[in-house]
Amino acid sequence: MTPLIGAFIADAYLGRYLTLGTFLCGYFLALTFVTMSVTLPALKPPECNGLTADLTKFCRPATKLQRGFFYFALYLMAMGAGGIKSCVTAFAGDQFDITDPVEAKRKMSFPNWWFVSISFGTMLSVSLLVYVQDTIGWTWGYGIPTGIAGLATLIFFIGTPLYRTHHIRGGSPFTRVAQVLVSAARNWRVSVPTNPELLCELDDKEALTQAPGKLLRHTPGLVFLDKAATVPVMTHERVYRFEELMKPDPWRLCTVTQVEEVKLLVRMLPIWVTNLMFSAVFAQVGTLFLNQGTTLNRQMGPNFQIPAASMPLFVTLTICVFLPLYDKFFVPAVRRITGDKRGLTMLQRIGVGQVISTISITVAAFVEMKRLRLAHSLGKDIVGPLPMTIFWLLPQYMLTGICEVFISVGQMEFFLDQAPASMRSLGNALYLSTVAVGSFLSSLLVSIVTNITYDSNGGWIGNNLNESHMDYFYWLLTGLSLLNLFFYVLFAKWYTYKDSNKTDVSRRSSESPSSDSSGALQSGHCLTVPNGVAPLGYKELK
């Protein structure tokens, strides 16, 4: 959840460049501390003198200083990773000039290749670095990533002259959202004008300096929020001074763009919620899928046994192979059919991934049923792995990798593209938070199912998987995934994309502002009509 903190700092105060640079330094420092904690004698407990069932007889526990230093390094690492992850994707996206057709086309491929690079790095970390830690030692195991992090930080700062750092600070995104909600509540009795041009908006000069090219056009729906941008009229209940209307209180009157930003967040929330189920299913890759693998025959040839913990590598390998194929062949082929520049729209891409995710957990349920039938046929006294190869799990791992190509990359693209310009880091943090919240959801489901189904055999998920019914849990996830898919389709059909609602400020500024019949209210201003006469389209308060 730390990306939410990093996103807040970037959007409200420092901007993405400074936030990224600061948290890169913090992350490098944290890795240095972790390396020190496994290297320096003063910061690590001494080696154990022997191995017995009671390790405390031969292993001295870590001191408070050693534990405190190590946990401080871990928390600092979590904060550093949060600041980096919330900004780095958005900052990289900022380097593309969307007004250039060539760069705009490259930007559409950027999320795919970005995710390939992440997957390749993950593959190296869970294979090469794990091997180094097991065979050479923890000092090298942590020292290598520390050196890489330091080199990455240095390269980032060297490239400073080349970056486009056009970040628009809109203040705290939470404050902007709160201002709209409070203003809408205060104006709850005000009637929204039938003509959206009469709503409050920045004038052209302010827009060019404060939000160049980023004004959002009014959209229908969520009318209650429009009350926040409804220009007040003079009534006997409250007299508005001229100064108040020229520079309105942001807690009483907001701009259309500010209201539309909140509308975007409100519309994105159902999409965010309906993506949590995928994260809950994906969490099984590192938990129950591994437990399945430990009960199966892991032999590869006469002299090698594949560790069950290495099976998730097939998810990463699938991503690294399938994503380039998706970008080079799938997108152009589908583009000719749909006419969409991305091939599939962002929400269609996520939807396809949700279908594949449901199929993957269904396949896992069938494989578990086969495994249980074999275990039951051999009796309860079986010792060691079942005579069933671990590669029976390969389809569910590969399907999970394919649905990552659709869902995870689609989510990254969706939340970055659809988040308001002043909250783009927050949008990326929302994407990352689906993983964290989905993992919590998975743990909650496992706890509930374990408590409800517990019996003498251990229930659905017991210590002895051969006597449990993990297939029932997989079928539960399948049912929940289908239900989630139904709601996702409904929300996706309801969603209005931001791209169709942008207003070109530079173009608008070259045009003469339109006036209503009273001649007192112009587009781009928040003035009301004097003498208490409501502008055209308003209903006076009674």
Residues 27-64 have pLDDT tens digits of: 999 999 999 998 888 888 877 665 544 545 567 777 88
C-alpha to C-alpha distance for 377 and 365, rounded to whole angstroms: 18
State the average pLDDT for the chain.
80
- The pLDDT confidence band at residue 170, using thresholds 50, 70 and 90, is low
Residue 432 pLDDT:
84
pLDDT of residue 465: 82
Position 508 scores a pLDDT of 45
User: Average of pLDDT values for 489-494?
Assistant: 93
User: Cα dist. 369→288, 481, 508 in Å?
Assistant: 14, 19, 64
Q: How far apart are CA 274 and CA 290, in angstroms?
A: 26
Check pLDDT > 90 for residue 115. Answer: no
Instruction: Give the whole-angstrom CA distance, residue 498 versus residue 418.
Output: 6
Question: By mean pLDDT, which of 169-183, 322-336, 387-401, 498-512 is the weakest?
Answer: 498-512
Q: Which residue has the higher pLDDT, 281 or 45?
A: 281
234: nearest Cα among 224, 221, 223, 245: 245
Residue 541 binned pLDDT confidence (cut-offs 50, 70, 90): very low
- For each of the domains in the chain, give its residue range(s) and CATH number, in order of start: 1-167 (1.20.1250.20), 173-264+505-532 (no CATH), 274-497 (1.20.1250.20)
Place of tokens 């993983």: 435
- Per-residue pLDDT, 536: 37
Closest CA to 286 of 459, 464, 126: 126
The Cα 387–Cα 298 span in angstroms is 10
Question: What is the mean predicted confidence (pLDDT) over 110-116?
Answer: 84
Does pLDDT of 516 surpass 80? no
**Does residue 391 register a pLDDT over 70?**
yes
For the stretch 106-124, what's the b/e string if a residue is b when 16 or more beta carbons lie within 10 angstroms of its beta carbon?
Answer: ebbebbbebbbebbeebbe
- Tokens found for residue 213: 């090219």
Q: Which of 73-82, 335-344, 424-433 has the lowest mean pLDDT?
A: 424-433
* For residue 501, pLDDT beyond 60: no
What share of the chain in percent tops pLDDT 90? 27
Residue 222, Ramachandran bin (φ over 0: left; ψ between -120 and 50: alpha; else beta): left
DSSP string over 104-173: HHHHHHHHHHHHHHHHHHHHHIIIIIHHHHHHT-HHHHHHHHHHHHHHHHHHHHHTGGG--------S-H
Distance CA 236, CA 542 (A): 9
Give the residue from 181, 172, 171 showing the smallest Cα distance to 229. Answer: 181
Q: How far is CA 99 from CA 105, 167, 213, 269, 387, in A?
A: 10, 17, 11, 29, 60
SS3 content of the chain, % helix, strand, coil (to 5): 70, 5, 30
Q: What is the average per-residue pLDDT within 131-149?
A: 87
Q: Are 115 and 59 in contact (CB under 8 A)?
A: no
- Tell me the range of 8-12, 119-123, 273-277 where mean pLDDT is highest: 273-277
Please indicate whether residue 209 or residue 406 has the higher confidence score (pLDDT): 406
pLDDT band at 364 (very low <50, low <70, confident <90, very high): very high
Rounded to whole angstroms, how far apart are CA atoms 354 and 490?
14
Q: Are 17 and 165 in contact (CB under 8 A)?
A: yes
